[in-house]
């Protein structure tokens, strides 16, 4: 063949290949086999109001459903908590419904625990296995051998589950979550005698001082407070609220502040008291407020003598002038507002530090005032779930627990330093209600898969987003896709099968009926059948009851008997020489405590500060990193007295040189194809530092960081220092 002919031929082949590539096949149009009875018009969407249960904030949602399939979730504009807004996590709940690895029917373990070898069984068989175990416990009269582990529940589910346990005769219902605001409830009880959570009137305040409360991304009710923050900044014609953030790491919230005060970890309480002393000293406090709370300024000043400016400056590592300036601004602007967050609370002196921040609010006269702090409308919740966790771990270790019913994923979410994982392994029979084969379900002997949230009935009392009691409703927006059953319905079926006392205590035929009962009791109104039904339908249509009664009513008043907060010097696990850096673990913007990791939209969501996707990372200050010879994207080893991890480093200027930070949420052993074996779980590093029996200090571990190699395999959507370098686009 001549060279010329060859070239002609190859050119033609290339051209025809190109053309064939352009051609697209006609799509298929697949109609129904049997048309649905009513209510479905092809191409026409229906919107259902429901509630989001991804985090305890309890936002209202509207779900667009087309041809019987849920397509899109948005915020419910009528809901007082989120006012039509919704965070990325709430939007991604859709993927829980369509997750390709969802459990489709009950499973029974066949291999060793953790191996993931399961056998599909029917519901009859699954329920039978569970009921046999429960009957055995009843027969042997050791009903307290049953333990129930759930996240912190709200609304009817909370009453129902505790009712179930009470009827069975076991006091062991643990509702522990790492990020649950038990610490805030405790502080509220000690300072004000009220264990309810506070409602911060952020939108109306003029000076906001946040001590490590990351309300934009995770603290209590992020959509509500993020929105309120916008209104505080831009919602008023004449005022733009000022915002100062105290905390060692620049979070997304800190990045929105006017001033960032990177105080030394554990010194935030001392800083608050230093400011309080200065405010008292210069008589900038609200005299009426102090008098109303029965406190005398001279006496207070005497008690705070130790917190003079030079000492506080030395403790916090901040400049004296800055501290004084912020204290004067805070006291001189009315209304002002101080918040305390997890970063502060998870230190050994956390509870006292949180109370110190509350004292600042009292001094500036921010209690029960517009732009200040009110008791929230939600009822009280658990205050001591950490103590309960440790008790349960001990009884599991002693072999007293014969049967554990687990909703949620505590295997991933509880730090191994508590001994939880090892103790759970001693429980002879574990039942999981997970929708995915998550870390806990992998350990289970029996899995009775729950419905996805969008297939479930329920009611939600938002944690902290409102002054009023809001009662949100959840309704199934699609027909359940698989052979799953809702967790409370399974418990009801079990109770009716067990008979006797159990059946008498829980006589409902379904969880839906139970919720209807609770709601109609709470709302009051009509008693006749037809009207009750009409009222129920109307509440479902709106998404719950919003125009409700004023919360607990009583305002905050400093409990006279309580002593003043006095945060001691923080203690840390690990020797300072051997482990020179403080470790902070913080809730990931995308995954919260890890529950979002199975959802690919959230994995693909770049972290707002570092732009990392699909991975874990450790944030290190450039100065520290230079000293250790670490550059951006290197693989490093992090060692603490408790454990060792390897993960890529992110050189992050927004963090103190003596602090490193790792986000929570990754490092699952299970949880479906998107979460499995991805990133690391920083909880394995945390040592158990207990100041009191009530709370562990999760931010009080010291670590050592060493460089391993340049192969960190870090994938980021942009460069954190804002250059055009990008690992995804490759410019």
Q: Work out which of 32, 47, 98, 482 binds another protein, going by CB under 8 A.
A: 32
Q: Which is nearer to another protein, 71 or 135 (CB)?
A: 71
Stretch touching another protein by CB under 8 A, among 20-28, 95-103, 607-615, 720-728: 20-28
43 binds another protein (CB under 8 A): yes
Rounded Cα–Cα distance for residues 229 and 213 (Å): 13
Least distance in Å: CB of 68 to another protein?
14
Stretch touching another protein by CB under 8 A, among 23-31, 69-77, 328-336, 338-346: 23-31
Stretch touching another protein by CB under 8 A, among 29-37, 362-370, 490-498, 642-650: 29-37
Stretch touching another protein by CB under 8 A, among 40-48, 205-213, 314-322, 384-392: 40-48
42 binds another protein (CB under 8 A): yes
Q: Which is nearer to another protein, 46 or 162 (CB)?
A: 46
Q: Work out which of 16, 41, 119, 563 binds another protein, going by CB under 8 A.
A: 41
Q: Which is nearer to another protein, 30 or 731 (CB)?
A: 30
Least distance in Å: CB of 24 to another protein?
6
Using DSSP's 3-state secondary structure scheme, residue 591 falls into coil
Least distance in Å: CB of 29 to another protein?
5
Q: Work out which of 44, 288, 560, 729 binds another protein, going by CB under 8 A.
A: 44
> Which among 428, 383, 476, 631 is positioned nearest to 48, based on CA atoms?
476
24 binds another protein (CB under 8 A): yes
Least distance in Å: CB of 40 to another protein?
9
Stretch touching another protein by CB under 8 A, among 24-32, 93-101, 121-129, 325-333: 24-32
For residue 264, CA distances in Å to 11, 296, 312, 391, 680 come to 68, 31, 11, 33, 26
In 182-320, DSSP assigns E strands to 198-200, 207-211, 242-246, 259-261
Query: Binding string to another protein for residues 437 to 456, with x set by CB under 8 A, is what?
Result: --------------------
Least distance in Å: CB of 31 to another protein?
4
φ, ψ at 600 (rounded to 5°): -60, -30
30 binds another protein (CB under 8 A): yes
Stretch touching another protein by CB under 8 A, among 32-40, 48-56, 198-206, 342-350: 32-40
Q: Which is nearer to another protein, 41 or 104 (CB)?
A: 41
Rounded Cα–Cα distance for residues 216 and 226 (Å): 5
Q: Work out which of 1, 17, 18, 33 binds another protein, going by CB under 8 A.
A: 33
Which neighbouring-strand residues pair with 174? 149
CB 155 within 8 A of CB 140: no
- The site that binds another protein (CB under 8 A) totals a number of residues, namely 18
Least distance in Å: CB of 74 to another protein?
16
Q: Quick count: other Cβ atoms within 10 Å of Cβ 196?
A: 23
Least distance in Å: CB of 215 to another protein?
35
Rounded Cα–Cα distance for residues 232 and 250 (Å): 21
Q: Which is nearer to another protein, 40 or 688 (CB)?
A: 40
Q: Work out which of 4, 28, 527, 577 binds another protein, going by CB under 8 A.
A: 28
Query: What does 510-530 look like in DSSP terms, one character per residue?
Result: -HHHHHHHHHHHHH----SHH
Q: Quick count: other Cβ atoms within 10 Å of Cβ 236?
A: 13
Helices 155-168/487-498 angle, 10° precision: 30
Least distance in Å: CB of 44 to another protein?
5
Q: Which is nearer to another protein, 43 or 553 (CB)?
A: 43
Stretch touching another protein by CB under 8 A, among 21-29, 202-210, 395-403, 502-510: 21-29
φ, ψ at 606 (rounded to 5°): -65, 135
Which two three-digit tokens encode residue 104?
């489709």
Count Cβ atoms within 10 A of the Cβ of residue 629 and give its class: 0-12 exposed, 13-18 middle, 19 or more buried: exposed
Least distance in Å: CB of 11 to another protein?
14
Stretch touching another protein by CB under 8 A, among 17-25, 154-162, 571-579, 583-591: 17-25
For residue 363, CA distances in Å to 103, 290, 331, 510 come to 54, 7, 8, 51
Q: Which is nearer to another protein, 38 or 547 (CB)?
A: 38
Q: Which is nearer to another protein, 30 or 560 (CB)?
A: 30
Which two three-digit tokens encode residue 403?
């049967």
729 binds another protein (CB under 8 A): no
Least distance in Å: CB of 452 to another protein?
25
Helices 268-281/309-316 angle, 10° precision: 160
Least distance in Å: CB of 25 to another protein?
8
Binding residues among 316-375 for another protein as defined by CB under 8 A: none
37 binds another protein (CB under 8 A): no
Q: Work out which of 17, 34, 288, 560 binds another protein, going by CB under 8 A.
A: 34
18 binds another protein (CB under 8 A): no
Count Cβ atoms within 10 A of the Cβ of residue 552 and give its class: 0-12 exposed, 13-18 middle, 19 or more buried: middle
Pairing state between β 242-246 and 446-447? unpaired
Rounded Cα–Cα distance for residues 286 and 367 (Å): 11
Torsion, CA 604, CA 609, CA 611, CA 614, rounded to 10: -40
The structure tokens 């009801």 sit at 492
Which neighbouring-strand residues pair with 374? 199
Q: Which is nearer to another protein, 13 or 41 (CB)?
A: 41
Q: Quick count: other Cβ atoms within 10 Å of Cβ 437?
A: 24
Which two three-digit tokens encode residue 591?
């995954």
Helices 511-523/529-542 angle, 10° precision: 100
Rounded Cα–Cα distance for residues 678 and 603 (Å): 10
Q: Work out which of 1, 17, 18, 22 binds another protein, going by CB under 8 A.
A: 22
Q: Work out which of 27, 38, 237, 298 binds another protein, going by CB under 8 A.
A: 27
Q: Which is nearer to another protein, 43 or 525 (CB)?
A: 43
Q: Work out which of 1, 3, 31, 530 binds another protein, going by CB under 8 A.
A: 31
Least distance in Å: CB of 16 to another protein?
13
Stretch touching another protein by CB under 8 A, among 16-24, 441-449, 612-620, 703-711: 16-24
Torsion, CA 449, CA 455, CA 458, CA 464, rounded to 10: 100
35 binds another protein (CB under 8 A): yes
Q: Which is nearer to another protein, 30 or 729 (CB)?
A: 30
Pairing state between β 60-66 and 45-51? antiparallel
Using DSSP's 3-state secondary structure scheme, residue 566 falls into coil
731 binds another protein (CB under 8 A): no
Stretch touching another protein by CB under 8 A, among 18-26, 69-77, 249-257, 713-721: 18-26
Query: What does 602-618 look like in DSSP terms, one character per residue?
Result: HHHSPPTTT-B-SS--E
b/e code 288-309 from CB counts within 10 Å (16+ = b): ebbebbebebeebbebbeebeb
Stretch touching another protein by CB under 8 A, among 22-30, 113-121, 293-301, 648-656: 22-30
Stretch touching another protein by CB under 8 A, among 33-41, 270-278, 480-488, 581-589: 33-41
Residues that bind another protein (CB under 8 A): 22-35, 41-44
């Amino acid at each position: 063949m001549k060279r010329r002919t060859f070239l002609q031929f190859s050119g033609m082949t290339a051209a025809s290949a190109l053309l064939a590539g352009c051609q697209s096949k006609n799509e298929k149009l697949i109609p129904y086999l049997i048309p649905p009875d009513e209510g479905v018009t092809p191409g026409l969407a229906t919107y259902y109001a429901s509630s989001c249960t991804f985090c305890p904030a309890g936002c209202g949602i509207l779900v667009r459903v087309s041809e019987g399939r849920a397509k899109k979730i948005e915020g419910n504009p009528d809901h007082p908590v989120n006012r039509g807004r919704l965070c990325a996590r709430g939007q991604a709940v859709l993927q829980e419904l369509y997750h390709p690895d969802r459990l489709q029917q009950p499973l029974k373990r066949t291999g060793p625990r953790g191996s993931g070898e399961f056998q599909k069984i029917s519901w009859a068989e699954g329920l039978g296995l569970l009921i046999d175990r429960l009957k055995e416990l009843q027969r042997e009269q050791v009903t307290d051998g049953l333990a129930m582990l759930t996240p912190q529940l709200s609304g009817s589910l909370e009453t129902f589950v505790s009712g179930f346990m009470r009827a069975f005769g076991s006091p062991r219902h643990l509702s522990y979550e790492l990020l649950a605001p038990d610490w805030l409830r405790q502080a509220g009880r000690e300072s004000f005698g009220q264990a309810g959570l506070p409602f911060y009137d952020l939108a109306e305040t003029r000076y906001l001082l946040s001590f490590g409360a990351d309300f934009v991304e995770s603290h209590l009710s992020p959509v509500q407070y993020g929105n309120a923050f916008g209104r505080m900044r831009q919602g008023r014609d004449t005022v733009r609220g000022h915002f100062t953030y105290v905390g060692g790491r620049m979070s997304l919230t800190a990045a929105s502040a006017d001033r960032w005060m990177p105080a030394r970890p554990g010194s935030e309480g001392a800083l608050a008291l230093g400011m309080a002393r200065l405010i008292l000293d210069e008589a900038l406090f609200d005299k009426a407020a102090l008098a109303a709370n029965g406190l005398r300024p001279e006496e207070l000043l005497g008690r705070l003598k130790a917190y003079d400016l030079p000492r506080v400056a030395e403790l916090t590592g901040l400049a004296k002038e800055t501290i004084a300036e912020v204290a004067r601004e805070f006291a001189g602007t009315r209304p002002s507002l101080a918040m305390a967050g997890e970063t502060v609370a998870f230190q050994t002196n956390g509870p006292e530090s949180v109370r110190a921040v509350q004292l600042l609010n009292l001094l500036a006269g921010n209690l029960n005032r517009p732009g200040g702090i009110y008791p929230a409308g939600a009822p009280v919740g658990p205050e001591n779930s950490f103590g309960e966790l440790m008790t349960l771990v001990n009884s599991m270790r002693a072999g007293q627990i014969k049967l554990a019913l687990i909703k949620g994923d505590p295997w991933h979410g509880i730090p191994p330093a508590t001994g939880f994982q090892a103790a759970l392994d001693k429980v002879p029979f574990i039942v999981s209600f997970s929708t995915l084969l998550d870390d806990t379900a992998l350990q289970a002997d029996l899995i009775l898969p729950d419905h996805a949230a969008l297939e479930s009935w329920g009611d939600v009392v938002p944690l902290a987003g409102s002054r009023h009691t809001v009662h949100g409703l959840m309704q199934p927006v699609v027909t359940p896709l698989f052979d799953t059953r809702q967790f409370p319905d399974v418990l009801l079926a079990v109770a009716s099968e067990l008979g006797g006392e159990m059946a008498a205590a829980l006589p409902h035929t379904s969880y839906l009926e139970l919720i209807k009962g609770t709601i109609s009791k709470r709302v009051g109104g009509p008693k006749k059948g037809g009207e009750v039904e009409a009222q129920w339908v109307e509440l479902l249509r709106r998404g719950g009851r919003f125009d409700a009664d004023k919360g607990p009513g009583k305002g905050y008043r400093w409990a006279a008997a309580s002593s003043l907060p006095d945060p001691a010097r923080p203690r840390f696990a690990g020797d300072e020489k051997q482990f020179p850096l403080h470790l902070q673990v913080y809730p990931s913007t995308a995954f919260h405590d890890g529950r979002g990791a199975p959802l690919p939209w959230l994995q693909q969501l770049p972290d707002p500060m570092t732009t990392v996707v699909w991975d874990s990372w450790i944030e290190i200050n450039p100065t520290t990193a230079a000293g250790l010879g670490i550059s951006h994207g290197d693989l490093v080893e992090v060692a603490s007295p408790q454990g060792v991890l390897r993960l890529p480093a992110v050189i992050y200027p927004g963090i103190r040189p003596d602090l490193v930070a790792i986000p929570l949420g990754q490092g699952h052993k299970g949880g479906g194809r998107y979460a499995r074996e991805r990133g690391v779980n920083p909880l394995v590093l945390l040592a158990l530092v207990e100041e009191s029996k009530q709370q562990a200090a999760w931010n009080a571990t010291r670590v050592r960081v060493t460089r391993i190699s340049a192969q960190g395999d870090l994938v980021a959507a942009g460069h954190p220092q804002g250059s055009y370098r990008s690992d995804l686009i490759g410019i």
